[in-house]
Amino acid sequence: MTLEVYWGSGSPFAWRVLLTLEVKQLPYQSKLLTFSKQEHKSPEYLALNPRGKVPTLKDGDFTLYESLAIMAYLDRAYPERPIFGRTPQETGTIWQKVSEGISYVCEPISRVTGPLLFGGASEKESEIRAAATTVAKELAHLEAAVAKSPWLAGAAISAADIVVFPWIQLLLRAAGKEAAKPLNLGFLPLATRYPHLAAWVKRIEAIPGYERTYPPHW
Ligand SMILES: N[C@@H](CCC(=O)N[C@@H](CS)C(=O)NCC(=O)O)C(=O)O
């Protein structure tokens, strides 16, 4: 059965699915949609995903959207190299980290990166600064976690790493933009500010196939 993944360059949600496939070493057909051409709003695509968002997965006749749902499906359908753990304790710990990532890390990062990447940074300076303070606290938690173990939920890469990683990359990209320089948000250089997190980023970047997941327009 061929797995088909519909994704968009730079989407942190779609990036999760691509990373899941590479970590699980599952072959897939890449269907890269171009946001500027509104390919994610075409009637053909809306028939697969009525929300017109990426990612969407097709596995034969089965279609699924929402990044976490796709990750859970792939792990259940293709259990080798599990990303949601092998024991109840591992599964619980991974889900705790996934939930913390979604609840506390990704959203404030999006409030920092949105205006820096898509415009409006000078008008939204105080909002960016407020969100950046929250992000800094969360990065400190992540730094402590990967100082203790190589991966966020222990000794093996898991859904926890995959859920959070694209947002960290998005943050690093936004923090390096010209519009971010006057704000001096304090995230860069990552290797100096958060050395364990920087080493964790490098570990993920070393995953075979990582380059296939990297946003082509970056
Ligand atoms: N909750 C969804 C979020 C998906 C999402 O928001 N994707 C964005 C790209 S980052 C998108 O396709 N946006 C296009 C649009 O809303 O028109 C998931 O986890 O998959």
- The string of pLDDT tens digits covering residues 127-172 is 999 999 999 999 999 999 999 999 999 999 999 999 999 999 999 9
Taking the model in full, what pTM does it have?
Answer: 0.98
Assign 156 to helix, strand or coil. coil
Query: 91, 76, 103: which is closest to 20 by C-alpha?
Result: 76
**How would you list the strands of the sheet with 56-59, edge to edge?**
28-33, 3-8, 56-59, 62-65
- Rounded CA separation 182/113 (Å): 15
How high is the pLDDT of residue 200? Answer: 98
Instruction: Evaluate the CA torsion angle 112, 41, 56, 21 in order and state its sign.
Output: negative
Q: Is the pLDDT of residue 1 over 80?
A: no
Assign 42 to helix, strand or coil. coil
Mean per-residue pLDDT of the chain: 97
- Tell me if 67 CB under 6 Å of ligand 1: yes
The matching CATH number, chosen from 3.40.50.2300, 3.90.1150.10, 1.10.510.10, 1.20.1050.10, for 88-213 is 1.20.1050.10
Counting ligand 1 atoms within 8 A of each CB, the residue from 17, 33, 45, 54 with the most, and so the one to mutate, is 54
Counting ligand 1 atoms within 8 A of each CB, the residue from 5, 6, 11 with the most, and so the one to mutate, is 11
Structural domain boundaries in the chain = 3-77, 88-213
What CATH superfamily is the domain 3-77?
Glutaredoxin (3.40.30.10)
- Rounded CA separation 92/135 (Å): 24
The model's confidence at residue 90, banded by pLDDT at 50, 70 and 90, is very high
